[in-house]
Amino acid sequence: MRAYRRRADEKMTYDILSQRTGMPTERVRSIGARRGYNATLDDLNLICVELGTHAGDLLEVDVAAAAKHRAKLRKKKTKASKPARAKRKTASKKRKPAKSKNR
């Protein structure tokens, strides 16, 4: 918003942006203020069109946080997959029913 203010010489608030884009004010506030908020591409497009900018100008990438999150997901995935493998091994070792001798 600061960059827009410098470029357009107009103060842009969440309320004004909400009115111009047609998005609810709370959603606009969440996109602007909540770290990690999952905004839709449509919402970002509406904001970009109104501000006359590109999505890359709005986005901020925290590389360290992303790496930490990926490591956490990998750790969770390996924990979840170990019992599944053990179940498969025990399931394949079950005895087959004995054939009847009356045939």
pTM above 0.75? no
Q: Is the dihedral of CA 86, 68, 27, 52 positive or negative?
A: negative
For residue 59, which of 79, 83, 35, 78 has the smallest C-alpha distance? Answer: 35
Helix axis angle for 41-51 and 14-21, nearest 10°, is 110
Provide the CATH number for the domain formed by 2-58 in this structure. 1.10.260
Q: What is the pLDDT of residues 59-71, one digit of tens each?
A: 777 788 888 888 9
Q: What is the pLDDT of residues 22-76, one digit of tens each?
A: 999 999 999 988 888 889 999 999 999 998 888 888 877 778 888 888 898 888 8
Pairwise CA distance, residues 61 & 63, whole Å: 6
